Amino acid sequence: MKDIRRMFFGGNTANGFYSFHDNIVDDDRTMLYILKGMPGGGKSSLMKRIGKYMKEEGFTIEFHHCPSDPESLDSILIKELRIAIVDGTAPHTMDPVYPGLKDKIIDLGQFIDSQKLAKNKDKIIEAKLNNKRAYSRTFSYLNSAKSIYELIVENNKSGVDFEKVNNETRSVVDKIFSQKDINKQEIMFKERHSFSTANTPKGFVDYTDTILEGVENIYFIDGEIGTGKSTLINKVIEECRIKGYSMEYYHDSTIPEKVESLIIKELNTCITSNKTAMEFSHRRINLNKYFKETVKIKDDYETYELLKKKAISNLSEAKENHKILEEMYRPNIDYSSIDKVRDKLLDEILTYAK
């Protein structure tokens, strides 16, 4: 479905599961619906159906995907209505801040036939335990990959002419902020954090193209690890804060402390190191001009990629265990009642639209 922004508010990272779920919708929201339930309980399908319907009604929709199953949704946002629906179960547990006022819990767990489900008790416990082990291994491999990445950074710095990089950085910052404000739309967050990419059981998934659609000015930073891409983006962030601009941060899917893409809302401008930007009209900032390729250590790069592959392999194992859980739950769920909840929820959302 085109014209839907897609992103992740959680990530499988070197720091473990990393959550930005408090950035889905702000405190000035109309309503936050928090779904509670079980594996295979229809939460994602409910959100997809409502999101698709509201999109066809002309509303701007964000689909927020699950990093452990990118075909599933963790949440959606109906932008103009300031309404979000979220999966509030672990690992992204969410509870109401303003119960009954701006937040509502929708309990889908009530539609489980617990007596029938009890027959699968041992299989469910075993799958849960195996799932936890797979994630533990995933995060260990990603943490090791981060350590190798930091080695590469330190090594590559020896081949960078930082005086020239700093001059280029100042030039880019001056160019970005010489633009006049062009975006007069209402802005929800002063600073909003998420991911446009994720480490998933299906490998590396990238939705950066959906966040770049409609962005007027795109600056793509090309450069090897350690050449100053993050520093340049951080300089832009500092200047934005001084000028009071609103920003969307899209963090690195493995090392979430690093910002990969930054959108400056008032300038309708993005600066990014994500190569997807090359598919759009962009201005290229080539930091490799100031880097000596001969200092690179090939083995370090290969080790970094190998560790990430190991992490993905264990994510796939976690997904298989989650699939077992879904298979145990599905035959014991009253989906017709969940459909009625979905229809009632959609009717309620449409009253806000009117």
Question: In this predicted model, what pLDDT tens digit does every residue of 268-294 receive, in sequence order?
Answer: 999 999 999 999 999 999 999 999 999
Among the listed residues 82, 84, 81, the one whose alpha carbon sits nearest the alpha carbon of residue 64: 84
- pLDDT given for residue 313 in this prediction: 97
- pLDDT given for residue 2 in this prediction: 56
Measured CA to CA, the distance from residue 189 to residue 247 in angstroms comes to 8
Residue 333 pLDDT level (bands cut at 50, 70, 90): very high
- pLDDT given for residue 151 in this prediction: 98
- Asked whether the predicted pLDDT for residue 236 surpasses 60, the reply is yes
- pLDDT given for residue 186 in this prediction: 67
CA atoms within 13 A on the CB side of 264: 30
- Asked whether the predicted pLDDT for residue 140 surpasses 60, the reply is yes
- Give all strands (DSSP E) within 140-297, no chain letters: 191-194, 197-200, 203-206, 217-222, 247-251, 259-264, 269-272, 283-286
User: Edge to edge, what strands does the sheet with 217-222 contain?
Assistant: 191-194, 247-251, 259-264, 269-272, 217-222, 283-286
The set of residues, in sequence order, having a beta carbon less than 8 Å from that of 253 and lying 6+ positions away, is: 8, 11, 12, 13, 195, 197, 198, 199, 204, 260
What's the mean pLDDT in 53-59? 96
Measured CA to CA, the distance from residue 143 to residue 135 in angstroms comes to 12
| Buried-state track 20-44, b at ≥16 Cβ within 10 A, e below 16 | bbebbbeeebebbbbbbbbbbbbbb
- pLDDT given for residue 183 in this prediction: 64
- Asked whether the predicted pLDDT for residue 85 surpasses 70, the reply is yes
Please compute Rg for the chain using Cα positions. 22
The proportion of the chain whose per-residue pLDDT surpasses 70, expressed as a percent, equals: 98
Measured CA to CA, the distance from residue 318 to residue 132 in angstroms comes to 8
Measured CA to CA, the distance from residue 261 to residue 266 in angstroms comes to 16
Alpha helices in 158-266 (DSSP H): 162-176, 208-212, 229-243
Measured CA to CA, the distance from residue 87 to residue 72 in angstroms comes to 11
**Least reliable range by pLDDT among 45-59, 180-194, 246-260, 295-309:** 180-194
- Asked whether the predicted pLDDT for residue 181 surpasses 90, the reply is no
CA atoms within 13 A on the CB side of 335: 12
- pLDDT given for residue 3 in this prediction: 78
226 within 8 A of 300, measured Cβ to Cβ: no
- Asked whether the predicted pLDDT for residue 35 surpasses 60, the reply is yes
Q: Where are the domains of the chain?
A: 5-112+334-353, 160-291
Measured CA to CA, the distance from residue 276 to residue 272 in angstroms comes to 9
Q: How far is Cα of residue 162 from the mean position of the Cα atoms in its chain? A: 32
- Asked whether the predicted pLDDT for residue 161 surpasses 90, the reply is yes
DSSP class of residue 67? T
- pLDDT given for residue 184 in this prediction: 60
102 within 8 A of 24, measured Cβ to Cβ: no
Between strands 61-66 and 69-78, the pairing is antiparallel
- Asked whether the predicted pLDDT for residue 315 surpasses 60, the reply is yes
Which two three-digit tokens encode residue 59?
A: 């509303």
238 within 8 A of 212, measured Cβ to Cβ: no
Measured CA to CA, the distance from residue 307 to residue 295 in angstroms comes to 22
